[in-house]
Amino acid sequence: MTSLLELLNGCVNNCMVDTGSRELNELLGGGFSRGQITELTGEAGSGKTQTVIQVAVNIAADNGGNSLAVILDTEGKICPRRILQVIESNRLDPTCMDRIVIKRIRNVEELLATVQLLPAFQFNNQNKIGGILIDSITQPFRFSQNNEDRRKNGGYLYRICETLNELAHKNNIPVILTNQISIKVDQNNKNGGTSEIIPALGESWTYAPSVRILFKHKTFQDNEDAPGSRVAAILKSPAQQHQKTANFCIKTSGICDL
């Protein structure tokens, strides 16, 4: 007999979006949660963009082919050929490609305008948005040259986050953002200052995503690890254990287990 707890857990898992990796799914409590913002942060090449591509494919292939995956690409790293490679490697319906919308974003104003148009796009389109992915949220804000631009950017970032949170909650869809990293230097240290790697966009941004995951390259030791292996750790989550980790791999077919 199935217990009430098992039924509840089953409902929760059904609301998740598959990452492609069983171990990464377990780290996240079943996959990427709907109805909230999840941030993927980490150094270059740690797997953030590849995860965005994988999740977009999974969304487009799920739900009877009625959901669109919307990718806002601020860095120019989303390659349609790579998306098609993941689809073909997993022997998915080629029409999945038609349900992945990629919009190239070149500046802060364009990002804000596009995000604010998404509710109308969701309302008017026959295929509803099944997930919103931004790679990365950081890029348009990184090169402000003066205090006036920085002040405006804070307001833009708040409005973007507010709209994305509303879209996620009202439509029960995942919103996944990638974030770059920066270095924080502690000048008060008696040993002459220490530094640590932290997610970009400052401390106020830490309250924006409900879940924050750190991706890292896995250390190779005696060639025991498979090429393309990565490790993910939870930095922030209302439900999962912090500092818990998962190993995953990036292959031709996309995100998978080692």
SS (H, E, C) 152-185: HHHHHHHHHHHHHHHHHHHHCCCEEEEECEEEEE
Q: Is 60 left (phi over 0), alpha (psi -120 to 50) or beta?
A: alpha
**8-state DSSP, 20:** S
Residue 11 has pLDDT above 50, yes or no: no
Kindly report which listed range (6-15, 49-58, 202-211) carries the lowest average pLDDT score. 6-15
Residue 160 has pLDDT above 50, yes or no: yes
Share of the chain above pLDDT 90, in %: 59
pLDDT band at 23 (very low <50, low <70, confident <90, very high): very high
pLDDT at 226 (0 to 100): 64
Average pLDDT value for residue range 162-182:
93
> Rounded to the nearest 10 degrees, how much is the dihedral formed by the CA atoms of 80, 248, 27, 43?
-70
- Measure CA of the first residue to CA of the last residue in the chain; give whole Å: 34
pLDDT band at 188 (very low <50, low <70, confident <90, very high): low
Cβ(198)–Cβ(180) below 8 Å? no
pLDDT band at 206 (very low <50, low <70, confident <90, very high): confident
Residue 9 has pLDDT above 80, yes or no: no
pLDDT band at 199 (very low <50, low <70, confident <90, very high): confident
Rounded to the nearest integer, the mean pLDDT of the chain is 85
pLDDT at 150 (0 to 100): 64
Average pLDDT value for residue range 39-67:
91
Per-residue pLDDT tens over the stretch 105-152: 999 999 999 999 998 887 777 778 999 999 999 998 876 656 666 667
Dihedral sign, Cα of residue 195, residue 28, residue 73, residue 154: negative
Q: Which fold has domain 17-256?
A: Rossmann fold (3.40.50)
Counting Cβ atoms within 10 Å, is residue 235 exposed (0-12), middle (13-18) or buried (19+)? Answer: middle
Per-residue pLDDT tens over the stretch 219-233: 644 445 566 789 999
Q: Model's pTM, two decimal places?
A: 0.86
Cβ(108)–Cβ(156) below 8 Å? yes
How far are the Cα atoms of 42, 184, 200, 216 from residue 197, in angstroms, in the given order?
9, 6, 9, 11
Residue 8 has pLDDT above 90, yes or no: no
pLDDT at 148 (0 to 100): 64
How far are the Cα atoms of 11, 72, 227, 229 from residue 118, in angstroms, in the given order?
28, 11, 38, 35
Task: Tell me how far apart the alpha carbons of residues 107 and 92 are, in angstroms, rounded to a whole number.
Answer: 34
pLDDT at 10 (0 to 100): 41
For strand 67-73 and strand 128-135, is the pairing parallel, antiparallel, or unpaired? parallel
pLDDT at 2 (0 to 100): 37
Q: Which amino acid is at 99?
A: R
Task: Tell me how far apart the alpha carbons of residues 192 and 220 are, in angstroms, rounded to a whole number.
Answer: 31
